[in-house]
Amino acid sequence: METEVASSEKPHLPNRLGVKGWVWAGRYTLERYLYTLHRLTGLGLLLYVALHLGANGFRLGGEESWTSAIDFLTNPFGRVVEYLVMAAFAFHALNGGRLILQHLGYTLGKPKPPIYPYVDSMRRRRPLTWVMLAVIVALAIYILVEFVT
Ligand code: HEM
């Protein structure tokens, strides 16, 4: 009988792929790529929060300092960044909701016996993934229309 090895005694295998493994380490499913995007949008939002707090710090310097900071940030590139932040938040929030539901075991369906052709839980989860993607695309388009009109 196999005895369980404590995690401290397990050998540390080198992470040969590093960050490249986020994108490719064999056949990844759609949900695995959505997780990579979840990580990227999460880190992007963190960066935005830091920049947002930094930019708001200019308020402390009085009205002139604040107006010159806002003038500096008001340009087409700034608008594109603002749009990407909104779209990233829409994606991260909805995909995060999907991950929470699935981490808690909802939407996975009942376990099935491993009879060929196998139906793994990833594929059973797909309808929710497609509905979520459709809502995200609709939101991203809506936000874009609001931005340009
Ligand atoms: C409605 C709002 C949000 C929801 C529902 C949400 C949901 C989640 C969930 C469920 C995870 C864990 C994913 C997993 O391990 O399976 C996660 C990770 C993360 N979130 Fe959020 N999140 C939200 C807002 C934010 C915001 C505003 C930020 C940044 C300021 C953020 C940054 C991150 C980061 C950096 C991670 C770690 C990603 C990784 O493991 O590489 N999230 N989020």
User: What digits encode the pLDDT tens for the residues 75-106?
Assistant: 999 999 999 999 999 999 999 999 999 889 88
36, 92 Cβ separation under 8 angstroms: no
- Tokens 């990227």 appear where? 40
Q: Bigger pLDDT: 111 or 42?
A: 42
Q: Which helix (H) or strand (E) holds 39?
A: helix 30-56
Rounded Cα distance, 30 and 71, in Å: 41
Please report, for residues 36, 104, 126, 134, the alpha-carbon distance to residue 107 in angstroms, rounded to integers and kept in the order given.
Answer: 21, 9, 10, 18
Query: Please, which residues have CB within 8 angstroms of residue 5's CB and are 6 or more apart in sequence?
Result: none
Ligand 1 near 39 CB (within 6 A):
yes
Name the residue of 19, 37, 38 to mutate for ligand 1: max ligand atoms within 8 A of Cβ. Answer: 38
pTM across the whole model: 0.85
Domain boundaries, the chain: 28-148
pLDDT for 149 beyond 60 = yes
Q: What's the CATH number for 28-148?
A: 1.20.1300.10
